[in-house]
Every structure is written in C-alpha cells, then in structure tokens.
Amino acid sequence: MFSFTIRSFFQKLVTLFFISVISFLMIYLAPGKPSQIDPLNPKFTPEDLIKFQKEFNLDKPLHVQYYLYYKNLLTGQSKSWKDNQPVLGKIFERFMNSLWLFIVGTLITWCLSFPVGMNSAIKRGSFFDRSSTFLAYVLISIPGFFFAYILIIFVVQTFNIPVIGMRTFGMTQADYIYQIMDKAWHLVLPSILGALGGIAFLSRYVRAQMLEVIHQDYIRTARSKGLSADIVYYKHGLRNALLPFVTMFGLILPGLIGGSVIIESIFAWPGMGRMFFEAIMARDYPIVLTLNFVGAVLVLIGTFISDILYMVVDPRIRL
Amino acid sequence: MLTKRILILLPIIIFMILLQSFFWVPTYDEQVRGNPHRLEEFITASIGDAKILNPILNADSASSAIVEPVFDGLIDRDENLRFRGRLAESWTIYEEAYIYVNPQATMNGKTITLPTAVRELILNEKKKMKDPGSPLVDTLNNIKGIEIIPSHKGEKEITIPGPDKNKDGFPDPQKINVRFNAPPRLKITLNNVDQDFFQNIERILGKGYFDTFPSEDFIEILTEGQEETLSTVAPLVIPVTEHNPVIIFNLRKGVKFHDGHEFDAGDVQFTYEAIMNPKNLSPRVPDYEPIKKLEVLDNHTVKIVYKRLYQPAFGTWGMGILPEHLLNSEALRIEAEQKGEAPDEFSMRNVDFNRRPVGTGPFVFREWKSDQYIVMDRNEDYWEGAPNYKSYTYRVVPDLLTQEMEFYGGAIDNYGVQPHQVARLKKDSRYQNFSGLSFGYTYVGYNMRRELFKDKRVRKALGMAIDTDKIIRYVMFGQAERITGPFVKQTDYYDKSIQPLPFDPEGALKLLNEAGWKRNADGWLEKDGKRFAFTLMTNGGNDIRKSVLAIAQDSWKKIGIDVKTNIVEWTVFIGKHVNKGNFDALILGWSMGIDPDLYQIWHSSQTNENQLNFVGFHNEKADDLIIKIRQEYDYEKQVAYCNQLHRIIADEQPYTFLYVGKWTAVLDKKIVIKEYAESGEERIRKITPTKTGSYTFYFNKWIKLAQDPVFEME
Amino acid sequence: MNNQDIKELHQGLSEEVSRFTESWRIFKKNRMALWGLVIFIVFFVVAVSGLFLTGGDTPILDPAKVRLSEKLLKPLTPVDSEMINPEDWPIFGIYLLGTDDLGRDVFARMMQGAWVSLTVGFVAVGISVLIGIILGGIAGYYGTLRIKFMDVLWLILFSVSLIFLASGQNDLAMNSFLITILLILFSSIYYVLSAKGRVNVSVVKLLFFNTFTVDTLIMRFVDIMLCFPTFFLILTIIAILPPSIYNIMIVIGLTSWMGTTRFVRAEFLTLREQDFVSSARVMGISDLSIIFRHMIPNAIAPVLVSATIGIAGAILTEAGLSFLGIGVPPPHATWGNIFSDGKRFLFDAPWLTVIPGLTILVVVLSFNLFGEGLRDALNPKLRKR
C-alpha cells in the first residue's frame, strides 16, 4: 500500500507538470489578447497598454512567464487582471458557492440512483423498468438550457417568485431563519436540474451493472436459500456491483469545477464554472490557468482516492 | 432493509426540506414576507459592472450610475433642464475682457498711445451715452470698471501645431520659446459675458484698432531655427483682445463628506487639479482645459477664470467633488507605502478610494462585490434632507431576460422595457410605467465631398423616399419619434415648429428630375450617362441598423437608385471608413448631452480625418452660428441661435434625420413619492415624469409601500 | 462438396444465421430502440432535404429572408399578402412554425439547422472514432513494445521545437529541429546496424535502453487528456480560435476520442490472446492485415455504440456552445442559435425557444435509444441462453 502511494504520488506529479505546461501553452499561444492590452480598446492610451503589458509580464519570453506565473500561484500572490483582486481569494469565494450546489446535487443523485437502477434491474421489463428507462433517456437527451428555461418560466409566471441567483435580494436585514430558507429555496431549481440529469445518467449504469451481477450463480443460490429479496440484492448484490462506481465516485470531484457553465449562467449562480467561462472570454489568464490547474489537481486527487477505495473494496485487487 | 431505506429516504427528506422553503420566500406581491426592511430598499439592475467609482476618472455608464448618488457637483439641472445649485448656493458669471493698447492706432488723426487715454475715452463715451436703443448703450452699460495693467517683459514657452503629423493624422505639438515685451493692457470688467464686446468697442476706438495691432513687434523667438513661426506665435502670446469669462461660485456652508469632514472651497480646487494632473489620465481634461486659473477666495467662495469664451464649461461643474483630505499627495504617499508600491508611479487611478468612494451625496457607499452588486446607505446628514429610501442596491445582472424575471419576482424594482415588450407591459396593471425620449438620434449621413451628394435637392429627395414612419412602426415597434435636427428634442434648443420630411416618393422623383436625374430605359436614374448608384454602409452587431439599411435600400430602389449595402465590423467601420471619409453614405447614430455645443460635429474645421464632421458639412452661416452658440452665455440668445442653426441644417439636409428612440421603464406599482407638508403631515403621491420625461428626478423622495397604493382624489 | 452434402452435414445442428440477422432480431424486440431508429432515419432525410431546400440562391424554403413587417408571428400564421411580395412568401403561404424577430421563417431555419447539426455530429464523431481506433489499436496490439530512450529524446525535442516555432522564436526552433533530425538519423542507423548485429559499443547501446511501453505512453496521454474537464477544454479552445463550423467539429472530435480508445484497447488486449490471432501470425499474415481484417471487425461493437451516443452528445454540445454564444457563427442557422436568439423573447414569443428545444430533445433522444438498443443487440451476454 505504501509503495503504491509513493509511486502514484510521483506519477501524478509528473502528470501535473505536463498538464501545467500544456494548459499554459494553449492559453498563451492563442490569438486574441486580454482586453486591457488590446490595441483596439479605445479606453486605454498607448502608455496604458505598455504599462499593462509590463504589469502582466507579457513582454517577457514564454518560459520566464511560465515560471513567474507558477511562482505567483504557489505563493498566493497571483492577481486577476480584470480587477486586480487576488486570484485564490476569488476562486475560494466562488468555490464555496459552487460547493452547496455540488453537495446537494451529489447527495440526491447518488442516493436515489441506486434504488432506481436496482429496481429497474431486478424487475427487468416491468412497467417501472420501461418507464424509468424512458424517462432517464429523456432527461439525458434534453438540452440543459431548454429544461432550465421551461422550469423557470413555469415557476416565475405561476408564482411570481424570484429564482435567480443564490439568494433573494434585499434580505440582508431579514430574520435569520428567513434568510436561510431563502437560500434553501434558491438551491431548489438548480439542484433539481443537476440531480435529475445525474440520476438519469447514473441509474442507467447501476442498472447495467446490477444486470450483470444478478445473473450470477451466487445470487440465485441466495434467493433459493430463502433470503429476502432486499437483503440479497442490497447486501450481496450491491456490494459486488459497486466496483465501477467506486472509481466514478473519485472522479466526481472535478465536477466541482466543471459545475455546469450553462446552469450557472442561466441561474446567475456565482460559481466556478461561470467564472471560468468569463475569464476565458476576457482572457484573464491568471484565473484561467489557476482554474485549470486546480481542476487537474482535483482530478488527480480523485483518481488517487478511487484507486485506494478500489483496493479497499475489492481484496482481489493489488495495485 | 436499512441501506435501501436510507438510500431512498435521505434524498427525499433533503428535497422536502428544500421545497418547503417555498413558503418562506417573498414574492412580488408579498415582498415583505419576513423582511419588513425590503420597503426601504431600492434595488435596480444593470448589465455591466462598474469599473471605477471616481467621478473624475469613470468612463462607463454603470460607474456613472453609482457616482451620481454618492457625489454632489456644484450644480446640476432641474426638472426643466435649467441649472440649479447643489454644492454651490449661488453663482455669478461675468467677464474680464482684455485689450492691448495699440501704439499705431489713430483717433481723429491723433495717435493715442497712453493707456490712460484710452481708458478715459471709453469712460467718457459711457457717460455720454444717454439714448437707449443704440447697441453701444448696452455694451457700455455692461462695463463695470477698467484697470490698467502696465507693460512688462518676460519669457514664455508656447506650444503650437508643428509641421509633422503623428500616427492619428493630427499635427505633432511643437514647443517654441519666446521673449516678449508686452505693451500696457486694459482690463475691462464686464457685468455679463458679451461675445460681441470687442466688435462694439471697436466703434469707439476706431475701425481697424484690432487689426492693425502689431503683435510681432513685441515678440522675439528664442528657439533656434523657428523664426518663421513668428506670425503664428505672436498673436498667441500677445493677443490683442482676450475674453476671460469668470464664474464665482458661492458654496453651501455646513455640508459634510460621508466621513464627517467638512466640505470647503479647497475640495473644489483639489478636484480641478486632480483632473488636470497628467498622472491621473482623466478623460475629463478637455472639459477643463479652457480654465486659466482657479482661485480660492475664501473657504466658501471659488473664482474660476477661463482663457476664452466657452459656455459649455459651466455645465461641467456638475462634476462630483472629491474630498481633498482623502486623496491629496500626502494620503497617496501613505497608501503607496502601505501597499509597497513606488510612490512616483502611484496615482489616483490605483487608490482604494476608487472602490470605496466617499462623497457628499445623498447615499453613502457601503460595499462593492465585483460582478454582483454595489450597496449604498442613506446619508442621514444630507444637506438637503435625508432620502426616504434607507438603502440603494445596484445589482449586476448581465442578462436582460434575467433582469426581467427578477423584476417579475419582486427582486428588482425597475426594468427597462424592450421595444417589442412595451405593448404587453404597458397593459399589465401590476406595474406602473414611464416613457420618454432618449438623448440622441439615428440618421443617414451623406458624404458631401462626393459629386453625387453635393446638390441639396438630391439629399432632400433621398430623405423623402424613405418611409421613416414605417421604420418606426415596424423596426422600433412604434417606440421612437421623428426628429428633424441635431438638438435634443425636449429642450428649447430644438425648434419644434420645423416639420419632418414627408414620405413622398413622387415628390422625390420630381426633385431629382430638377437636379438632372432622369429615368433611363432600365428604370434606373441616370444623368450624363452615369447611373445613380452608391454604397450604403453601417456597422455590424446592430439588428436595428441592419433593418434600416434594408428598408433604405429598398425605398431607393423603388425610385430608381441602385444602392449596394455593406455591413462592416465596428472597429473597421470607424477606422477605415468613417475616420477617413471613405464612404458614400452611412447609417449611424449620435448619443449626446443636453448641451447645445455642436462644434465638433458640424463646424467646417472639423472635416479632416479622424474628426467628427465626417460628412463634410460646410456652411458659413452655420459655422458662424456654431461659434456664437458656444460663446453665448445668455440663455435666451443661445436658444435663438440654436433655433436658427436647426433651421439651416434641416434645410441643407446633410443628414436624413430618421428618429429618436423612446425608452420605457416599468416600476413596481407600490413605489410612490412621500412628501411632508408644512404641517408635518405625510402625503403620498404618484410618481409623475418631469417635462423632459425623466421620472427619477425626485428619487430621494421615493419609498415603497407594502400594498398597492390608493391615492387621494386631487 | 456440393450443396446437398453441406446440407446433410448441417443436419441436426441449430440453424445457422449471420451475425447481422441475429443482432437485428434482438434489436427489433426493443420497441424504444426501434422508434429511435425510425426517428433517426426521418432526421437524416429531413437534414439532407433541408440542405437542398434551403441552399442556393433562390431556395424553396428561405431561411435568410428578412421580412420586417412580419416579426414575431405565431406558428401557423398566414402571410400578409399585401405587404410581402409573392416571391418572398413562405411555402404554402403560411408560417408553419412562426417567424423570429427579423421576420424570418422559423421552419426554413430549422431545416437549415438540421443539416448543420447532422454534419457537426457525424464529422466530430468520425474524427474521434478514427483517432480512438488508431490509438487504441496501437496500444492494444503493440502495447508491450518498449520505447527506446533515444526515441523519447527526439520526440521531446520535436515538441520543444514546435513550441519555439509557435511562440515565434524561429532561430531556436531551427536549431532544435536540426538536432531532432540528427537524432532521428542516428537512431535509424542504429536500428539498421543492430538488426544486422553489428553494434558492439556498449555506450551506444546504453543510449537505447528501454523505457516505458507504448501502452503506458498512450494511456498516460489519455489520462492527461481526461484531466481536462471536457466542456472546459472545448470552451477554452473555441473561445480562443476564430469561430467557424469546421473548428467546432474538429474541436469536439479532438476532445472525445478517449472513451473509444479505451474500449478498443480493451477489446484488442483480449482479442490478441485469442487463437485466431496467434494462428494468423504464425501463418505469416502481416500485422496490418491482422489488425484491419480480423481484429477491428470484432472490436467494432462497442465503438459503434459509443459512436451513436457520441453523435447525440456532439449535437447537444454544439447546441450548448451556440447557447453560450460561441457556437457556429452566422450565416449558418443551427438549432442552438435559433434557441439563443429567441431567448430574449422568452415571454413574448415562446415558440422561438420551445421549437428548437423540443426538436433537439427528440433527435438526441432517438440517437440515444438507438445506441442503447444497438448495445443490447450486439452484446453477446444478453443473448438467449
């Protein structure tokens, strides 16, 4: 176990290094300049442009910029180009916002997918199976923005209630309980969207996996022994089907960053996905690079966790 | 089975908890639910975030919207668009006019060289003038006093346009050193600014008094090799006449900045110096450049002397006044040290003040969360009385649809209605709505340097062929009005009696026939064997202009004109076509302030590359009026000149003036104006727009009620 | 042998059916998948006819004709015959799906968009499948080959020179290219000589020691690519490149080959150990022939499935990109464009959003159902026992 950890750690460091180089190159070699040094921007004089270039280190050769950028990142000094605020601070703030959505969405998704998928597998071909399969497909196929807008129009027109953002405005002096409830309400629509999509997707996998497991001999034996269906499937069957989900579980971590740019844009949720999109459009390089980097780190941590969990869950596996 | 139960129940419980929050959340009708303070808060939205909250540095509309309630200027405009005092209680405007004594002038055969003699001459005339009606009477009565400035010598550096051009096509400035020996000068203090003063005085002093003044005799060029510039430089160093308008502001006493520090004249002086400080790169510099000197006479009086006549300068004092004690060089140095930056490079553009402004206005800045919101609180000690609203929140909502949805939900108090929605929202009884005309207009501009458009009749005919009413009805959904001239329609400067061009294709054809254009065999108009053809351009990214383009092309095709269209990306459009005069005709718009100074757009000197008179309009009478307008400090006279100018431009048709857009806003019906009668009793009345269409004029008196208001019968 | 004999030989054995018929039989039973296939065919027909009906100078269905007096009309509104010239009339004289804010016929635009969606889907997936098969095949078949150190060296140098080239430092680029070529020459000479057994200098042999395997190299590359969240990757690249329909297709293709690679590699790994492959090798059939004629047809099943689902995903992605404003630029009308243009009029003209949204839903759904049905049909484990 220990040697595996060390080996894995070093391998991941190397991967991280490559990722940092690749993402750096992608951004810096791209056409289009940050708006502050865009010569077509009428608001800044040529002296301003030169000043910004110097400030952003854009006049130095590439490898120097690479070094400087990562030095800034690791010492926490990196500043966004748009409003000169520290990058890590901005990212952390948005991270906390995304976190709520992520937690609620993930909880609901992972909890509900299993019963739904398993029931589908157990009662294969039944009405439940066919309708939940169909529904799952519809939910996977519907464009996220379309679904979001339909929900929004319905709720807004029927109830005249605010749904956008993290909280209703103007509530800063309300009683605490009302503020909490308000934040809870604003979580509802976006997390429904995320959860429904997630359940649709995940329950298909659960069903597929369970189908494989159910036809094994030991299940038939257990059933014929007289054990209740629930115990057989949930205790014995699920455990054996768990393997691929364990891997998947580790990989949901980067979903924090991915969030969904589209959902966050529609609901004006100040999360990391939207920040990434806006930073790219404005060519705010420090933010884009940092987010890429953080994303990569999360993925690598996620894979690491998956590998460990994998070994824990299945004693047959030796990595 | 425990696992199963947990897996199913846990998410359902979580979801139920979330769902029941629905009953706790305020809706449009129940905005007070759990939050009684909502009524005291005004929430508005904008598409963009503010950039810099400093009145001398900001350049975008979002920043301006925040700067306005936080800062006060010396003056602003009242509901009739006339100036009213804010931080200035009152003001006087007068003039100091300067005349150099001309050593070569003769009067009745005698030369009068002594300044005292000239002075006596003028004062005597003044005493003599008894009969009113003679123009000189007003001029002479205007004279308050005459001082003599003795001659003196000195050296000076002066900047003139040089022979080389910089990359924008403008001449590079050139510095010349001169030594001068100025003759004695008369300083004549006038009660009112009079732009015709020198013409009139010349009648007394003798014709040609000013023309024969030999400025060059008093100058010596010191810079080597620049002796030929003498004739250009001399009148700049020793101008025979000079207008120096003076404004004296009497400032209000007892006004405090939001941090408690008292406001005084030093802050006004500081604001001016900060604007002119090159390190700050303020975009306002051109507005304050005509200032010769700004003096603090005492703690509450400021005297501003201008280098030349420039009436729009007065309006610039609506500029927010900065607190000197927070931004002076000492404060800047301390802040630079705290941040570890080099003090030399640290200017007002880098200070934290720009994100946490302090002014004297009705609202005090509280917090700015980037891209999310800016909050301001009521200034309890506001000199005019605290506003009714306790707080003012400015939300950043980049998407119009989102703004609309938040408005329906009661989380935003107002919403700028788009043209296609006006019909639906005006009918909706849940909201109150207001409309008005924007400040600006859309037009078709013709390049008058090109042969095709030189004839006035042709331009007029082109205008008559377009059915502008159709454009307004279909493209603007009826949310626009015809406009006939270059002034803001709501002001007096705009002559409302001038009728817009009628839609008359037949009449247009007749005019074109008169101008020599006849239909040929293919149906196209032809003159001297050449077909009437040109290209109409506009910029991309604007659906409305695209539609207008299509309609114009189609209308002109119907009367036999072959028009090709071209849509170009904005920067290319401006850089390669507009700025270089490289176009036949184009569709563009202007958005403007109330000020009637049209020099940059219509004066014939502004027809070079990169200048704004890109259609090449050249009319002497118009030039004359334009100069008069910008130098006239008397309102009635200025209005008269403007109306005349309007008439000339409408007659010449250098543009086909199309329309001015109408804006509509909807507001939460529960917002009303709350006033206090003398008896102290509270009275509520409906918000009504002012004469000029602005509905936010009495914003400080607004408040929101918990239910729909019921108004007493008036 | 003649037919009579063959029949006799096969007596008593179960009926011989081709793989295709067998799969089709299973597929038919899945009603939803069948519907998916039907809609897929309909979509295909519509898209192709859309290309012809809306293309050219005077199309039958004109998606670009602006009729300013007919803005924002509801579906099934007849055309205002007085205001509009007959040549600008929509087909049948009514606006089947209404008009947008420029008076354009929504029906015509949807038809044009169908073709774009189809192209984007197929080309993007085509690219990703191609890359996937190649990389996965190499990793699976040649997986245990070890790369020599020297080769790693010149590979790195090559990438470095590309970077120098891209960042404009041309002289440095020239130098590193030269060194790269030298190294390649060197190693080719080495391979030729060592094949003949002529290399004895141990130092030189050291330079060619074994490093990691081809399999590791390719899989690590896949891992690195997987580390970038797909949508972000696409966003980054699209926002940076100039917008064009081709860029979008290529980018989507270049970011979704990872799954296929894994499938193909897994299949190849299993297949490689099977008897028919070893016997082919013994018979002396060339590697390429083995790969293309024997292994790929057997490995194709998961690829087909993931391709079908991939097309659905590509269409959704393109719609999402258009919605965010960085999708296929005008003049092409895509369903995502129509939706995002119509978003402004959500409360005033809901058909502008509902129609494209529903259409995307139906088409993507059909692809997904079809793909799933395909997976079930081709999956040997689900065959009747």
Helix ranges restricted to H, chain C: 3-9, 19-29, 31-54, 106-141, 149-166, 170-195, 202-207, 214-227, 230-240, 245-254, 258-272, 275-282, 287-289, 296-324, 335-342, 351-378
Q: Judge contact between C114 and C44, C-beta under 8 A.
A: no
Judge if the upstream peptide bond of residue C331 is cis by omega within 30 degrees of 0.
Answer: yes
What residues contact residue C185 under an 8 Å CB cut-off, 6+ apart?
A: none
Q: Are residues A43 and A95 both part of a single domain?
A: no
- Crossing angle of helices A87-122 and A285-313, rounded to 10°: 40
State the burial class of residue B677 (Cβ atoms within 10 Å of its Cβ: 0-12, 13-18, 19+). Answer: exposed
pLDDT band (50, 70, 90) for residue C81: low
Q: Is the pLDDT of residue B226 over 50?
A: yes
Look at A167-176, B442-451, C309-318 and tell me which has the smallest mean pLDDT.
Answer: A167-176
Q: Is the pLDDT of residue B444 over 90?
A: yes
Which whole number is the average pLDDT over B79-90? 87
* CA separation for the pair A313, A307 (Å, rounded): 10
Q: Residue B672 in 3-state DSSP? A: strand
Nearest Cα of chain A lies from the Cα of C225 at a distance, in angstroms, of 9
Residue B583 pLDDT = 92
Q: Which residue of A has its CA nearest to B403?
A: A164
DSSP, residue by residue, B561-573:
-EEEEEEE-HHHI
Neighbours of B619 (CB within 10 A): 18
CB contact under 8 A, A48 and B281: yes
Query: Which residues of chain A make contact with B25, given a CB cutoff of 8 A?
Result: 161-162, 168, 181-182, 185
Give the distance from CA B398 to its chain's centroid.
26
Query: Which residues of chain C make contact with A133, given a CB cutoff of 8 A?
Result: 32
State the burial class of residue B381 (Cβ atoms within 10 Å of its Cβ: 0-12, 13-18, 19+). Answer: middle
Q: Is the pLDDT of residue C232 over 50?
A: yes
Q: What percent of chain B has pLDDT over 70?
A: 96
Beta strand ranges found along B559-625 (DSSP E)? 562-568, 585-591
Which whole number is the average pLDDT over B575-600? 88
Which whole number is the average pLDDT over A164-174? 73
pLDDT band (50, 70, 90) for residue A42: very low
Look at B574-583, B597-606, C101-110 and tell me which has the smallest mean pLDDT.
Answer: C101-110
Residue B459 pLDDT = 93
Which whole number is the average pLDDT over B469-484? 88
CB contact under 8 A, C319 and A254: no
More confident residue, B133 or A4: A4
Structural domain contains residue A252 = yes
The minimal CB distance from C320 to the residues A143, A153, A288 is found for A143
Q: Provide the pairing of β-strand B440-446 with B431-437.
A: unpaired
Q: Are residues A164 and A295 both part of a single domain?
A: yes
Look at A92-96, B706-710, C227-231 and tell me which has the smallest mean pLDDT.
Answer: C227-231
Tell me the backbone φ, ψ of residue A152, rounded to 5 degrees.
-65, -50
Structural domain contains residue A12 = no
Which whole number is the average pLDDT over B173-186? 85
pLDDT band (50, 70, 90) for residue B658: very high
Give the distance from CA A124 to its chain's centroid.
32
Which whole number is the average pLDDT over B118-142? 74
Most confident of B99-108, B136-145, B406-415: B406-415
Which whole number is the average pLDDT over C333-352? 84
Query: Which residues of chain C make contact with A58, given a CB cutoff of 8 A?
Result: none
Structural domain contains residue A20 = no
Which of A65, A137, A140, A217 is most worth mutating to test chain C (most C CB atoms within 10 A of its CB)? A137
More confident residue, B484 or B346: B484
Residue C58 pLDDT = 66
CATH of the domain at A290: 1.10.3720.10
Q: Which residue of B has its CA nearest to C346?
A: B401
Give me chain B's average pLDDT, please: 85
Q: Is the pLDDT of residue C84 over 80?
A: no
Q: Judge contact between C177 and C161, C-beta under 8 A.
A: yes
Which whole number is the average pLDDT over B508-517? 91
Q: Are residues A72 and A99 both part of a single domain?
A: no
Structural domain contains residue A61 = yes
Query: Which residues of chain C make contact with B404, given a CB cutoff of 8 A?
Result: 347
3-state DSSP of B410-427: CCCCEEEECHHHHHHHHH
Residue A55 pLDDT = 65
Beta strand ranges found along B357-430 (DSSP E)? 363-369, 373-378, 391-396, 414-417
Q: Is the pLDDT of residue B112 over 70?
A: no
Q: Are residues A67 and A196 both part of a single domain?
A: no
Neighbours of chain C (3+ CB pairs under 8 A): A, B
Look at B50-64, B157-171, C111-125 and tell me which has the smallest mean pLDDT.
Answer: B157-171
Residue B273 pLDDT = 92
Neighbours of B644 (CB within 10 A): 17
Look at B687-691, C123-127, C130-134, C249-253 and tell me which has the smallest mean pLDDT.
Answer: B687-691
Helix ranges restricted to H, C81-148: 106-141
Residue C384 pLDDT = 43
Q: Provide the pairing of β-strand B671-676 with B682-685.
A: antiparallel
Residue B272 pLDDT = 93
pLDDT by residue (tens digit) across B7-41? 888 888 888 888 888 888 888 777 777 777 888 88
Give me chain C's average pLDDT, please: 78
pLDDT band (50, 70, 90) for residue A37: low
Which H helix or E strand runs over B534? strand B533-539
The predicted complex's ipTM stands at 0.77
Look at A121-130, B321-330, B621-630 and tell me which has the smallest mean pLDDT.
Answer: A121-130
Tell me the backbone φ, ψ of residue A220, rounded to 5 degrees.
-60, -40
The minimal CB distance from A143 to the residues C316, C346, C381 is found for C316
Nearest to A98 by CA among A227, A253, A308, A238: A253
DSSP, residue by residue, C22-63:
HHHHHHHH-HHHHHHHHHHHHHHHHHHHHHHHH-SSS-SS-S
Q: Provide the pairing of β-strand B391-396 with B41-46.
A: parallel
B7 touches chain A (CB under 8 A): yes
Q: Are residues A238 and A119 both part of a single domain?
A: yes
Look at B56-65, B576-585, B636-645 and tell me which has the smallest mean pLDDT.
Answer: B56-65
A positions 252-311 inside 8 Å of B (CB): 265, 268, 270, 278
pLDDT band (50, 70, 90) for residue C385: very low
pLDDT band (50, 70, 90) for residue C124: very high
Beta strand ranges found along B275-398 (DSSP E)? 291-298, 301-306, 363-369, 373-378, 391-396
Tokens of A176: 């605490």
Neighbours of A148 (CB within 10 A): 22
Q: Is the pLDDT of residue A302 over 70?
A: yes
What residues contact residue B189 under an 8 Å CB cut-off, 6+ apart?
A: B94, B95, B96, B97, B143, B144, B145, B146, B147
* CA separation for the pair C97, C115 (Å, rounded): 18
Q: Are residues A36 and A141 both part of a single domain?
A: no
Which whole number is the average pLDDT over B176-182? 86
Q: Is the pLDDT of residue C240 over 70?
A: no
Nearest to B3 by CA among A118, A185, C64, A226: A118
* CA separation for the pair B454, B447 (Å, rounded): 8
Q: Is the pLDDT of residue A4 over 90?
A: no
Q: Judge contact between A279 and A6, C-beta under 8 A.
A: no
Q: Is the pLDDT of residue B714 over 60?
A: no
Q: Are residues A232 and A273 both part of a single domain?
A: yes
- Structural domain tally of chain A? 2
Residue after which a domain boundary falls, among A17, A52, A77: A77
pLDDT band (50, 70, 90) for residue C205: low
Residue after which a domain boundary falls, among A54, A77, A100: A77
Which whole number is the average pLDDT over C104-132? 87
pLDDT by residue (tens digit) across B258-287? 999 999 999 999 999 999 988 888 888 888
Domain that includes residue A189, residue range: 87-318
Q: Provide the pairing of β-strand B171-182 with B241-251.
A: unpaired
Q: Are residues A229 and A253 both part of a single domain?
A: yes
The whole-model pTM stands at: 0.74
Q: Are residues A152 and A71 both part of a single domain?
A: no
Nearest to B290 by CA among B244, B233, B241: B244
Residue B366 pLDDT = 92
Residue C10 pLDDT = 64
Nearest to B50 by CA among B345, B321, B371: B371
Q: Judge contact between C40 and C32, C-beta under 8 A.
A: no
Q: Is the pLDDT of residue B257 over 90?
A: yes
Q: Is the pLDDT of residue C169 over 70?
A: no
Query: Which residues of chain A make contact with B1, given a CB cutoff of 8 A?
Result: 228, 230-231, 234-235
Q: Provide the pairing of β-strand B391-396 with B373-378.
A: antiparallel
Residue after which a domain boundary falls, among A40, A56, A77: A77
pLDDT by residue (tens digit) across C21-79? 777 777 777 777 888 888 888 888 888 888 887 776 666 777 777 776 677 777 877 77
Q: Are residues A184 and A277 both part of a single domain?
A: yes
Residue A44 pLDDT = 52
Which whole number is the average pLDDT over A21-26? 74
Structural domain contains residue A307 = yes
Residue B609 pLDDT = 80
Q: Are residues A151 and A208 both part of a single domain?
A: yes
Q: Is the pLDDT of residue A35 over 60?
A: no
Q: Which residues pair with C148 in a beta bridge?
A: C210
Which pairs with CB-CB distance under 8 Å and at least 24 residues apart come from B17-23?
B17/A184, B18/A104, B18/A184, B18/A185, B18/A187, B18/A188, B18/A191, B19/A188, B21/A181, B21/A182, B21/A184, B21/A185, B21/A188, B22/A159, B22/A161, B22/A185, B22/A188
pLDDT band (50, 70, 90) for residue B296: very high
Q: Are residues A44 and A123 both part of a single domain?
A: no
Structural domain contains residue A38 = yes
Structural domain contains residue A69 = yes
CB contact under 8 A, C348 and B420: yes
Q: Provide the pairing of β-strand B41-46 with B530-531.
A: unpaired
Structural domain contains residue A35 = yes
Which whole number is the average pLDDT over B136-151? 82
pLDDT by residue (tens digit) across B328-372? 888 888 888 888 888 887 888 888 899 999 999 999 999 998 778
pLDDT by residue (tens digit) across A276-287? 887 877 777 778
Residue C191 pLDDT = 76
Residue B646 pLDDT = 94
More confident residue, B166 or B665: B665
* CA separation for the pair B370, B50 (Å, rounded): 8
* CA separation for the pair A219, A234 (Å, rounded): 11
* CA separation for the pair B536, B477 (Å, rounded): 24
pLDDT band (50, 70, 90) for residue B131: low
